Structure 1
Amino acid sequence: MNLLDCLIEGLLAIPAPGIWTTKIIPGLRSFGVIESDALLNNLHSILYITAFYHLVFLLSAWFLFPGISQRKIDCLLAEEKEKEIKVEHKYSRTQRAKSLSNQAALHLVSFLQTIIVLYLSISFLISHERSVIPYPDPESRIFGETRETRVICIFAIGYFIWDALISSVYSTLPFVMHGVVSTAMYAIGIKPYLQYYAPVFLIFELSNPFLNIRWFALKYLPSENHLCSRFQLFNNLIFLVTFFLGRIAWGWYQIGCLCYDFYMVSADPRYLYWDSLIIVAGNLVLDVLNAYWFKTMVCVAIKAIKGGAQKKHDDVKKAC
Structure 2
Amino acid sequence: MLLNIRILTAVLISAFSSYSSVAMISLEKFVSETLGLTKLPPYLSLFFWSFIGFSFVHQVLGPWCSARWFPSSYGAKGRSAKNNWSIHVVSQVHVLIIIPMALWCIWNESPEWSQDKAFGWDSRVGYVHAIACGYFLWDTLDAIINFIDPGFVAHGVVCFCIYLMGYTPFVAYYGVRCLLWETSTFFLNNHWFMDKTGRTGTRAQLINGVFLLGSFFFIRIVYGGYISIQFFHTLLQIRKSVPLTHVIIYGSGNFVLQGLNWFWFFKMITSLRKRFDTTGERAQLLSTDNQHSHSTIDIIPQTQG
Q: TM-score range by the shorter chain?
A: 0.7 to 0.9
Residue pairs, 1:193-204, within 5 angstroms: 193-204=170-181
**Correspondence for 2:73:** 72
Contact in 2 for aligned 1:66/1:98 (Cα 8 Å): no
2:217 is the counterpart of 1:244: yes
**Correspondence for 1:216:** 193
**Correspondence for 2:24:** 21
Of 232, 239, 243 in structure 2, the residue corresponding to residue 259 of structure 1 is 232
Superposed displacement of residue 100, structure 1: 3.7
One-letter amino acid matched to 1:233 = L
Contact in 2 for aligned 1:127/1:133 (Cα 8 Å): no
Superposed displacement of residue 149, structure 1: 1.5
**Correspondence for 1:143:** 119
Q: Deviations over 1:95-139 (max 9, x none)?
A: x354443222211110111122211112222334xxx544443xx
RMSD of aligned residue pairs (Cα, Å): 2.8
Of 101, 107, 111 in structure 2, the residue corresponding to residue 126 of structure 1 is 107
**SS of match in other structure, 1:65:** helix
**Correspondence for 1:276:** 247
Q: Deviations over 1:41-69 (max 9, x none)?
A: 53343122111110111223442223455
Superposed displacement of residue 298, structure 1: 2.1
**SS of match in other structure, 1:191:** coil
TM-aligned CA distance change 1:280 to 1:49, over 3 Å: same
CA distance in 2, matches of 1:52, 1:213: 22
**Correspondence for 2:299:** none
When structure 1 is superposed on structure 2, of 19-28 and 188-197 the one drifting more is: 19-28
Identity of aligned residues (%): 23
Tell me: higher relative CO, structure 1 or 2? Use CA pairs within 8 A at least 6 residues apart.
Answer: 2
CA distance in 2, matches of 1:285, 1:98: 34
Contact in 2 for aligned 1:141/1:195 (Cα 8 Å): yes
Superposed displacement of residue 71, structure 1: 1.8
2:168 is the counterpart of 1:191: yes
CA distance in 2, matches of 1:24, 1:135: 27
CA distance in 2, matches of 1:26, 1:192: 16
**SS of match in other structure, 1:37:** coil
**Correspondence for 1:179:** 156
Superposed displacement of residue 23, structure 1: 4.4
Of 159, 176, 188 in structure 1, the residue corresponding to residue 135 of structure 2 is 159
Could you say which structure has the larger radius of gyration? 1
Superposed displacement of residue 38, structure 1: 2.5
TM-aligned CA distance change 1:302 to 1:187, over 3 Å: same
Contact in 1 for aligned 2:121/2:173 (Cα 8 Å): yes
**Correspondence for 1:83:** none
One-letter amino acid matched to 2:260 = L
When structure 1 is superposed on structure 2, of 165-174 and 209-218 the one drifting more is: 165-174
**Correspondence for 2:89:** 108
Unaligned runs of 5+ in 1: 1-15, 75-92, 309-320
**Correspondence for 1:296:** 267
CA distance in 1, matches of 2:129, 2:268: 30
One-letter amino acid matched to 1:262 = L
Q: Deviations over 1:292-319 (max 9, x none)?
A: 11112223445666658xxxxxxxxxxx
Contact in 1 for aligned 2:74/2:82 (Cα 8 Å): no
Superposed displacement of residue 264, structure 1: 2.5
One-letter amino acid matched to 1:63 = W
2:208 is the counterpart of 1:235: yes
TM-score by length of 2: 0.75
TM-aligned CA distance change 1:303 to 1:106, over 3 Å: closer
**SS of match in other structure, 1:47:** helix
When structure 1 is superposed on structure 2, of 46-55 and 170-179 the one drifting more is: 170-179
